[in-house]
Amino acid sequence: MSISCPLCENDGGQVVWRNELARVVLADEPNYPGFCRVILHRHQAEMTDLTVEERSQLMAIVWAVETCVRNTLKPTKINLASLGNMVPHLHWHIIPRWQDDLHFPAPVWANAEPSRQIHQVPAAQLQQLRFQLEQLKP
């Protein structure tokens, strides 16, 4: 019996960069502008399913995306997560966080603070992030 995997069947967001190992996408997370994912192309569940070289290559991509997000959006903090509980296909979340975002300091998957608004990022900064990600050199 084959298992359906949304990251095997779909891109998982708007693809802005790819190589033979993985792709970088801007996630469709309207409450978190600049939320990116680094998604392994093939279906594997865990980092230890990869060779040591592949692990290093994948993490170099994660670090390069984090650097782009930090330099472009200037968030208060970056959250990195590789959970896979809902989608057991290896992928990393790179999430810019601001002190005034809906959940700070809690994780983005926690209940939102009811008194807060969505953190606004100027469109020009998001365009600059997209440009930087398209030029990625991990």
Q: Please give the helix or strand (H or E) that residue 80 lies within, else none.
A: strand 77-81
3-state SS, 4-18, equals CCHHHHCCCCEEEEE
Residue 1 lies in a domain: no
Give me the number of domains the chain comprises.
Answer: 1
Helix residue ranges per DSSP H, the chain: 6-9, 52-73, 123-134
Decide: helix, strand or coil at residue 123: helix
Quick: pLDDT tens for 45-81.
999 999 999 999 999 999 999 999 999 999 999 999 9
Residue 105 lies in a domain: yes
What is the pLDDT confidence band of residue 95, given thresholds at 50, 70 and 90? very high
Quick: pLDDT tens for 115-125.
788 888 989 99
Quick: pLDDT tens for 8-23.
999 999 999 999 999 9
Residue 110 lies in a domain: yes
Residue 64 lies in a domain: yes
The CA-CA-CA angle for residues 32, 12, 119, to 5°, reads 5
Please report, for the domain that includes residue 11, its CATH number.
Answer: 3.30.428.10
What is the pLDDT confidence band of residue 2, given thresholds at 50, 70 and 90? low
What is the mean predicted confidence (pLDDT) over 28-48?
A: 94
